[in-house]
Amino acid sequence: MRTARTTQDGARIYRALLLPFYDFLIMKVLSPYVWRCPSHHYVDLYRNFMSRNHADIGVGTGYVLDRCEFKPDEARIALFDLQQNCLDYTAKRLARFHPEVYQCDAMEAIRVTADRFDSIALGGILHCVPGNMEKKGAVFEAIKPLMRSGANLFGYTILNQGIKKTLVSRMIYFILQKLRVINGLDDSAYQLSLELKKRFKFINVKVIGCVALFAAHSPI
Ligand SMILES: C[S@@+](CC[C@H](N)C(=O)[O-])C[C@H]1O[C@@H](n2cnc3c(N)ncnc32)[C@H](O)[C@@H]1O
């Protein structure tokens, strides 16, 4: 007997269908032309900061991770995400690394019995999670138990304050914000730096277009 439909059914199909278009839309259109931060900057971050013992939080489709410099089986990679379909998609794409997969909410303490990591990426997740930067700081707290001392944290997030916007970036941000795809009306590089400084000895935040690229190491 068939069970009654739920809203989850529609959402699941939509999300699964959307993922193959994600790379083109985000990496080839929105990032370079709307946010004015070409995706090679994200790849550069991974090339500079990703270690052989790495956790990726908020994996999406694994587009950038797939472009890391490591060869198959050279790195331990663990994938963390709220959505199982994103985890499945990325795990398949990165099957050459035999990734560990964990479904979790990065706004809550992440409890994993696995060994800690030497690098953690937060690529594009901070502009998804709700609240101001202070509330988003919950993500930095949640990942702390996953980090070895001296571990690198790095990532990128779309900002809305203290940046130079174009008419197009203003319009697209407004729409994505209304659709709740992006959350972060008050997000600025300054607020992000404050939250990082509370938790790490060394931090670096650089703004390109509407995007903050950040790196931090040595959790306090
Ligand atoms: C915009 S995508 C970024 C994907 C990828 N890292 C990239 O740079 O293209 C955001 C990802 O974060 C995940 N995500 C959003 N909120 C989350 C949360 N609270 N906990 C864990 N993952 C979350 C989404 O499911 C999605 O896979």
CATH of the domain at 185: 3.40.50.150
How many whole angstroms from 205 Cα to the centroid of ligand 1? 20
Is pLDDT larger for residue 179 or for residue 97?
A: 97
In a domain, 13, yes or no: no
State if residue 142 touches ligand 1 by the CB under 6 angstroms criterion: no
Q: Which of 154, 159, 152 is nearest to 190 (CA)?
A: 159
State if residue 83 touches ligand 1 by the CB under 6 angstroms criterion: yes
Q: Residue-wise over 41-69: b if at least 16 C-beta within 10 A, else e? A: bbbebbeebbbebbbbbbbbbbbbbeebe
pLDDT at res. 219: 84
The string of pLDDT tens digits covering residues 57-91 is 999 999 999 999 999 889 999 999 988 999 999 99
The string of pLDDT tens digits covering residues 110-154 is 888 889 999 999 999 999 998 899 999 999 999 999 999 889 999
How many whole angstroms from 124 Cα to the centroid of ligand 1? 6
In a domain, 181, yes or no: yes
Domain that holds residue 74: 25-219
State if residue 105 touches ligand 1 by the CB under 6 angstroms criterion: yes
Q: Indicate the pTM of the whole model.
A: 0.91
pLDDT at res. 17: 62
Q: Summarize the confidence of residues 153-163 as an average pLDDT.
A: 97
The total number of structural domains that make up the chain? 1
- The answer to whether the beta carbons of residues 63 and 23 sit under 8 Å apart is yes
In a domain, 55, yes or no: yes
- Return the residue whose CA atom lies nearest to atom 1 of ligand 1: 124
